[in-house]
Structure 1
Amino acid sequence: MTEFLDGPHGRLAYCRAEGQGPGVVFLGGFRSDMQGTKALWLEEWARTHGQAFLRFDYSGHGASDGAFEDGCIGDWLADARAILSLTTGPQVLVGSSMGGWISLLLARALPERVAGLVTIAAAPDFTERGFWPEFTPALREELLREGQILRPSEYGDPYVITRRLIEDGRNHQVLAEPLELPFPTRFLQGTADEDVPVHWATDLLAHATGADMRLLLVKGADHRFSTPECLDLIGNSVQEVLARAR
């Protein structure tokens, strides 16, 4: 059942399953919502294992209030922090794509609330490492002048990229300063991912510090990382992190 929390930018939609802790919190990707394949699969996995679980929509996403084009990384990070207030004790964060970036920001800001971390095609700093370099000088000029541009998407209609999204992203980079992850951490990455290059995953592994950190590369897996085999890997990784966190 969908419930709502009064968040920093309006009502935030969420669903949760009761169970044992540490709880698992799923953080979705850019323009994704909590009805996605991975979120629903992981919720069923959690119910089967008697595991507490929480999924939610950022503002401007899914059933939450707000317009997508009004948001930025800092806003969605604030949403995630608000959602954490629904939980008790350290949680295992599972971040997909942009959710990987936000989970890393949460881990840096609130390490005491993180029992472990699993990322799926994590895209830290993607506004600066991905969007900005691909824009032509003319597009950059249009973005700065008009405040937004349209970017084509293979997942549907073109979407709005705003100047605020780019500039705010620069203020929330995780690869520009030390990143300590003092808890069990697993990075999952497909080699056929056309949105997040494999070297982003290896860069993250090299940059972060922590005593229990691994990167698993899956040959042929794309950015969706939603085949039955990939979903099983997500579940196995979460189970391993939970066991070590306990």
Structure 2
Amino acid sequence: MSDPQYLETPQGRRIAYHRTEGEGPGVVFLGGFMSDMEGTKALWLEDWARRAGRAFVRFDYSGHGQSGGAFTDHGIGDWAEDAAAALDALTEGPQVLVGSSMGGWLALLTARAAPERVAGLVTVAAAPDFTEDAMWAGFDADQRAALEREGVVHLPSDYGAPYPVTKRLIKDGRAHLVLRAPLHLPFPVRFLQGTADADVDRAVALRLLDHATGPDMRLTLVDGADHRFSDPDCLALIGESVEAVLARAGAAA
């Protein structure tokens, strides 16, 4: 594993990244909640980009992976700012954003804020508004009281240590919801979702498809695929989806 480079964001945060030189439009990978840029999908896409001669960027949000800061000091808005900083400083021209889980939410925020910088979008088990619709909505009275009193609650995780969910994360998430206001995606979009995903229900993908508007949006449901979406067939589908978005974006240019 090679050492990352570091970018200081306009907010003064230090985020780690790897950049692969190549042709544009490039591809930018946005990872999930408490994930990092060394995951299977990020590395598979980097290898795909090298073989295709395509520019590629993967990075860690503040408080994630090799980036600076404590996870519990940050929220959705900070991580969206990190994504915007990476897009602005590390890429040129419109990019294809590939957002996994929480990264799907951040990709949608990025597309809403700067659609001119987005050539296309691929989401994998996208989790828009999950802090409100999954976390907060799923808390019982005791958990809500503990969050108010202590500022954090811990949720069990299938991927390792329990998730720390802070009051700041919930409050900040409410300021960045994307399913409560118009969401126009004026570029090719491919939503990918597994039917066996225990973290993001397929209803979320259907809601996103119904809510967003755009000239070229498609949802693919993969029977039996889980939230990781990282077996060989799922990875190949991600690559095919990126290629399809690039082809459609090129045809529309």
In structure 1, the residue matched to 2:210 is: 206
- TM-score, normalised via structure 1 length: 0.99
Q: Distance in 2 between matches of 1:67 and 1:179?
A: 31
For the 8 Å contact 1:9–1:59, the answer to whether it is kept is: no
Q: Distance in 1 between matches of 2:179 and 2:153?
A: 26
Counterpart residue identity of residue 8, structure 2: D
**Which range is displaced more, 227-236 or 145-154?**
145-154
Tell whether 2:195 aligns with 1:182: no
Structure 1 unaligned runs (5+)? Answer: none
The alignment partner of 1:128 has SS state of: helix
Of 72, 75, 80 in structure 2, the residue corresponding to residue 72 of structure 1 is 75
Q: Distance in 2 between matches of 1:83 and 1:163?
A: 27
How many equivalent pairs are there? 246
In structure 2, the residue matched to 1:140 is: 144
Question: Matched residues, percent identical?
Answer: 67
Q: Distance in 2 between matches of 1:157 and 1:62?
A: 14
In structure 1, the residue matched to 2:65 is: 62
In structure 2, the residue matched to 1:6 is: 8
4+ residue runs over 6 A deviation: none
Tell whether 2:135 aligns with 1:131: yes
Counterpart residue identity of residue 101, structure 2: S
- TM-score, normalised via structure 2 length: 0.96
In structure 1, the residue matched to 2:86 is: 83
The alignment partner of 1:157 has SS state of: coil
Tell whether 2:153 aligns with 1:158: no
Displacement, 1:9? 4.6
For the 8 Å contact 1:30–1:99, the answer to whether it is kept is: yes
In structure 2, the residue matched to 1:239 is: 243
Counterpart residue identity of residue 75, structure 1: D
Tell whether 2:32 aligns with 1:29: yes
The alignment partner of 1:156 has SS state of: coil
Q: Distance in 2 between matches of 1:218 and 1:155?
A: 21
Displacement, 1:159? 2.2
Q: Deviations over 1:178-209 (max 9, x none)?
A: 00000000000000000000000000000000
Displacement, 1:134? 1.2
In structure 1, the residue matched to 2:176 is: 172
In structure 2, the residue matched to 1:228 is: 232
Displacement, 1:98? 0.2
The alignment partner of 1:60 has SS state of: coil
Q: Deviations over 1:96-143 (max 9, x none)?
A: 000000000000000000000000000000000100111110110110
